[in-house]
Amino acid sequence: MLRIGNIKLESNVILAPMSGVTDRPFRKLVRSFGAGLVVSEMIASHSVMSETQESFRKAHCDPSDFPASVQIAGCDPQLMANAAKKNRDLGASVIDINYGCPVKKVINGHAGSAMMKDEDHAVRVLEAVVNAVDIPVTVKMRTGWDDTNRNAPSLAKKAENVGIKMVTVHGRTRCQFYKGKADWKFIRTVKDNVTIPVIANGDINNFADAKQCLADSGADGVMIGRGCYGKPWFIHQTNHYLNTGEELPDPTLEEQYHILRDHYQAMIDFYGEENGIRIARKHVGWYSNGLHGSAEFRNKAMRMSRSEDVLNIIDEFYGSLLHST
């Protein structure tokens, strides 16, 4: 059984943090299917401390979400420590630190994967956060900055030494962004260097990937991001497969219809009509991907500006598919 400090996880398959995707409605839904842990979207430490509405929205969790991991990003030890404290007070049960984000805006602020370039400074930030809160602190990193600087094993060891309770490694360097293939075998060199749990991440899109990733990396668990697009049940299926070898079927089309409808309504309730419609579009697209006539359905749904109309077209689209089967 996977443990993060004093927290026992029910499964060793974790939902990856994804900005613009793993918001509260999605995390709640994935948890309801049985994910070991779900992680919030990255929140910049300075926006936590300026108490922006967006940072509250991203961090939002309540006791029923336990264990809820909230991810913060930044490079200033004090600011990061304060941001961690604030999120702990808002209900986070784990603080995750982002040392993996490759995007320019974050890198230019010396945060995300840029932190891997200066290990001493990276460790100072980790230490400040660990000392600031009484809940487990974890870190998510890449394998390194580029092919000649794959320092995840050494940074992970230093992280362990200052009290970090789990390390997740996305098996790419920063300079790869999302290109190429995640190097699951390299993650084994991190696993061999620490005693805290190591989670392997990157390119797990089916059950065989998950099994192979664990075999290659020797990791204690896997984290899945894009493989969950339109499939909030995938984390649970993967965990079941890894434990039993049994491939659970996807929910029936009728069940998927209800999951999408409820998820859509939850997004509208959470964000309000205007933002909700915009943010929900990608999910509507993902759920319907591959279904007969989905391109036309998506085209129409994407242009709609009232949630009621979108719900009606969802009813129509799934209704006609269900009648024709």
Ligand X SMILES: Cc1cc2nc3c(=O)[nH]c(=O)nc-3n(C[C@H](O)[C@H](O)[C@H](O)COP(=O)(O)O)c2cc1C
Query: Footprint of ligand X on this chain (CB under 6 A)?
Result: 16-21, 41-42, 71, 98, 100-101, 140, 170, 201-204, 224-227
∠ CA(199), CA(200), CA(201), 5° rounding? Answer: 120
Q: Least separation, in Å, of the C-beta of 247 and ligand X? A: 19
Phi, psi of 69 (to 5 degrees): -100, 130
Output 31 or 170, the one with its CB closest to ligand X.
Answer: 170
Specify the DSSP class assigned to residue 252.
Answer: P
Supply the minimum distance, in Å, between the C-beta of residue 143 and ligand X: 11
Residue 101 is among the residues annotated as catalytic for this protein? yes
Which residues pair with residue 222 across a beta bridge? 13, 200
Beta pairing, strands 13-15 & 37-44: parallel
For ligand X, the closer of residues 234 and 270 by Cβ is 234
Q: Which is nearer to ligand X, 145 or 318 (CB)?
A: 145
Name the residue nearer to ligand X (CB basis): 21 or 167: 21
Residue least distant from ligand X (Cβ)? 225
What residue has token string 């996880």? 9
Output the smallest distance, CB 8 to ligand X, in A.
Answer: 23
In the numeric block, the tokens 């300079």 are attached to 175
Nearest residue (CB) to ligand X, 106 versus 321: 106
* Nearest-approach distance from CB 170 to ligand X, in angstroms: 4
Q: SS3 of 178, please? A: coil
Backbone φ and ψ for 231, nearest 5 degrees, come out as -140, 65
Contacts of 159 (CB under 8 A, 6+ apart): 123, 126, 139, 167, 194
Q: Which residues contact 289 (CB under 8 A, 6 or more apart)?
A: 230
Q: Is 50 helix (H, G, I), strand (E, B) or coil?
A: coil
User: Is the peptide bond prior to 67 cis by the omega test (within 30 degrees of 0)?
Assistant: yes
Tell me how far, at minimum, the Cβ of 22 lies from ligand X, in Å: 8
Catalytic residue among 61, 101, 213, 228: 101
DSSP 205: -
Residue 306, both tokens: 């009232």
Positions marked catalytic: 101
